[in-house]
Amino acid sequence: MREPDFNALATSLLQHGIVPRHVRRTVNELRDHYDDLVDSAVDAGASSKAARHIAAQQLGSMDGIVRAMASRRELKTWAFRYPRLAVVVYPLACLAVLPAMPVFAGIVHRTALARWGASLLAAGLVTALMLLSMQLSILLG
């Protein structure tokens, strides 16, 4: 048995609708448990490769962990628990947030907007000075 792929486990749990907070906690705990199993096997006299093999066997199948967690409704996101409600709420939430998106974009890109505004102000002042000088040359000339 090869070393467990904890990244694939996290991806699979997320795809089954498990809340990301539970996924992070589960993966971190399984990594720690796997490391403890490897350390205990090495302390018992096994080689590094054999210790990883023994630890992977003792940890069990990642598919079994995914199935066990996916069967528990309380670990799933509300959208997976109530899919009919999610179909209604998500579009309404997007519709409510949509008008605020330009404000959020402006906040995120405030430095670029400030430079743009300063450039427009400078361009307006130069244009106004040129028009004023042309008007004065007409009046005085």
Give the torsion through C-alpha atoms of 98, 103, 107, 109, to 10 deg.
80
Q: Which among 77, 64, 61 is positioned nearest to 16, based on CA atoms? A: 77
Residue 18, class by beta-carbon neighbours within 10 Å (0-12 exposed, 13-18 middle, 19+ buried)?
buried
Please list, in sequence order, all residues whose beta carbon lies within 8 angstroms of the beta carbon of residue 63, skipping any fewer than 6 positions away: none
Q: Does any domain span residue 1?
A: no
Q: Are residues 39 and 93 in the same domain?
A: no
Looking at the whole model, is its pTM more than 0.75?
no
Model confidence over 32-79: pLDDT tens digits?
999 999 999 999 988 989 999 999 999 888 999 999 999 999 999 999
Structural domain tally of the chain? 3
Give the torsion through C-alpha atoms of 40, 46, 47, 50, to 10 deg.
-90
For residues 128 and 123, give the distance between their C-alpha atoms in angstroms, rounded to a whole number.
9
Contact 22, 75 (CB under 8 A): yes
Report which secondary-structure segment, H or E, holds 24: helix 20-43
Model confidence over 4-45: pLDDT tens digits?
899 999 999 999 999 999 999 999 999 999 999 999 999 998
Q: Does any domain span residue 127?
A: yes
Residue 45's domain spans which residues? 6-76
Q: Are residues 12 and 72 in the same domain?
A: yes
For residues 30 and 32, give the distance between their C-alpha atoms in angstroms, rounded to a whole number.
5
